[in-house]
């Protein structure tokens, strides 16, 4: 039986959010509940601005893993940082929407391989126990199932999901990330202006795109 479908597994720096700059293995799960991933469906998706190819299992390190232990072994194989007393191994589970697949067994197996486990999620699905770092990125037109965590990283601007709506939630940090696409420059300027006026919000840039790394 195939348990986990993964688009790609790769080692890079976390580009976004509070852990930007941290060496990380990215485990990108296939599929999302807010878009099919097909360009022809984008205009009618709930989430229309996605910057990611999460379809299939054909990326570097991707595949179909038959158990949590197999998945964790593939993640461990991708880690290139060795072991150091001041740097725990770090895996970022993303997608697609990782919470369609990531379960307590996978989190446990990743812990057993020595990883601290982070997740990037749209916040619409319940989380399994044991995840060490939760980043929720809310999407207009959806209801949040996850209203507490570490980073709340809002892609900006989304007219139907403005920052005020999320300020009362129980997150350690509130971040605005400029929406990439044809208006990235204007969106970045608008996000800078918003943070300057509302200092409870901080800017999150997608630094990997500026650096030209994955």
Ligand X SMILES: C[S@@+](CC[C@H](N)C(=O)[O-])C[C@H]1O[C@@H](n2cnc3c(N)ncnc32)[C@H](O)[C@@H]1O
39 labelled catalytic: no
CA–CA distance, 38 with 90 (Å, rounded to integer): 30
Residue nearest to ligand X (CB): 137
Give the distance, in angstroms, between the CA of residue 113 and the centroid of all CA atoms in the same chain.
21
51 labelled catalytic: yes
Q: Determine the length of the chain.
A: 214
Q: Are 77 and 114 in contact (CB under 8 A)?
A: no
Task: Walk across the sheet containing 63-65 and list its strands.
Answer: 63-65, 4-13, 23-29, 89-94, 115-121, 133-136, 148-156, 170-178, 201-203
Among 7, 8, 9, 16, binds ligand 2KA (CB under 6 A): 16
Binding of ligand X by 127 (CB under 6 A)? no
153 binds, among ligand X, ligand SF4, ligand 2KA, none (CB under 5 to 8 A by kind): ligand X
Q: Which is nearer to ligand 2KA, 63 or 98 (CB)?
A: 98
CA–CA distance, 43 with 188 (Å, rounded to integer): 23
32 labelled catalytic: yes
Q: Are 45 and 117 in contact (CB under 8 A)?
A: no
Binding of ligand 2KA by 62 (CB under 6 A)? no
93 labeled part of a ligand binding site: no
Crossing angle of helices 68-78 and 104-112, rounded to 10°: 40
Residues 87-106 that bind ligand 2KA (CB under 6 A): 94
Binding of ligand X by 27 (CB under 6 A)? no
Tell me which residues touch ligand SF4 (CB under 6 A): 32, 34-35, 47, 50, 52, 54, 95-97, 122, 139
Q: Of these residues, 8, 19, 29, 47, which one is catalytic?
A: 47
177 binds, among ligand 2KA, ligand SF4, ligand X, none (CB under 5 to 8 A by kind): ligand X
Q: Dihedral through CA 113, CA 123, CA 67, CA 3, nearest 10?
A: -160
Q: Of these residues, 19, 30, 32, 124, which one is catalytic?
A: 32
Residues paired with residue 116 on neighbouring β-strands, in sequence order: 90
| Residues engaged in binding ligand X (CB under 6 A) | 32, 49-52, 94-95, 97, 120-122, 137, 153, 155, 177, 179-181, 206
Q: Catalytic positions, please? A: 26, 32, 47, 50-52, 120, 208
């Amino acid at each position: 039986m195939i348990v986990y479908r993964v688009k790609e597994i790769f080692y890079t720096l976390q580009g976004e959010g509070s852990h930007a700059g941290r060496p990380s293995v990215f485990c990108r799960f296939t599929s999302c509940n807010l878009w099919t991933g097909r360009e022809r469906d984008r205009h009618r998706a709930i989430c229309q601005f996605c910057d990611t190819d999460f379809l299939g299992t054909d990326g570097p390190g991707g595949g179909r893993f038959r158990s949590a232990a197999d998945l964790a072994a593939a993640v461990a194989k991708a880690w290139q940082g060795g072991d150091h007393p001041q740097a725990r191994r770090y895996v970022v589970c993303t997608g697609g929407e990782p919470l369609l697949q990531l379960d307590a067994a996978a989190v446990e197996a990743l812990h057993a391989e020595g990883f601290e486990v982070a997740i990037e999620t749209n916040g619409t699905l319940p989380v399994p126990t044991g995840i060490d770092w939760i980043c929720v990125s809310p999407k207009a037109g959806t209801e949040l199932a996850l209203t507490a965590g570490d980073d709340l990283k809002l892609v900006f601007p989304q007219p139907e999901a403005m920052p005020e709506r999320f300020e009362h939630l129980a997150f350690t940090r509130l971040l605005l990330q400029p929406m990439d696409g044809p208006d990235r420059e204007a969106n970045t300027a608008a996000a800078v202006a918003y943070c300057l006026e509302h200092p409870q919000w901080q800017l999150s840039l997608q630094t990997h795109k500026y650096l030209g790394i994955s």
